[in-house]
Amino acid sequence: MKNLLLLAALTCGIAQAETVACHVSYGGETQVIRAQPATTPYTVAPTSIGSYFMFRLVFERQPPGLAAIKLYTYADRDPPQGAVLLHQADYLYPPPPVNKRNGQYGFTGLQRVYEPIRDGELYYWCELTK
């Protein structure tokens, strides 16, 4: 019986785990990129957005003094340049509470990233979810 209660408690804890969800729009399509807390943030790979952008979301809760949510947007250029950083944003974790009236775009607000060579534009906003 104790084992069943422990398993139920652990399962509920996993279901209630915080994640960061970023709503990324490009070329008329929106996809949601989710991240759970990373223990090795340097290994988090970017997600391809369309044929040109890449979006990287890193969620760090440990150590507490350095906890942050970090967002990177890259242009995926041809070699030899490869991925080129266009935009980086860092947010403290936990982020401040979202204003209920103006918080439709989560803790980041609506962000725009422009790429001048191909005239591309990417939009994103992120929220903390359970």
Provide the residue ranges of all domains of the chain, joining segments of one domain with +. 18-129
Residue 6 has pLDDT above 50, yes or no: no
**Is the Cα torsion angle 21, 51, 25, 113 positive or negative in sign?**
positive
86 touches 117 (CB < 8 A): no
Residue 43 has pLDDT above 80, yes or no: yes
> With a threshold of 0.85, does the pTM exceed it?
no
Element at 101 (helix H, strand E): none
55 touches 24 (CB < 8 A): yes
**Residue pLDDT, tens place only, 44-85:** 999 999 989 999 999 999 998 899 999 999 998 888 888 999
Q: Which residues contact 37 (CB under 8 A, 6 or more apart)?
A: 18, 59, 60, 61, 62
4 touches 11 (CB < 8 A): no
Predicted local distance difference test score (pLDDT) of residue 102 = 65
Residue 34 has pLDDT above 90, yes or no: yes
Round to whole Å and give the CA distance between 90 and 100. 22
Mean pLDDT for the stretch of residues 83-92: 95
SS3 28: coil
Predicted local distance difference test score (pLDDT) of residue 14 = 47
| pLDDT band with cut points at 50, 70 and 90 for residue 3 | very low
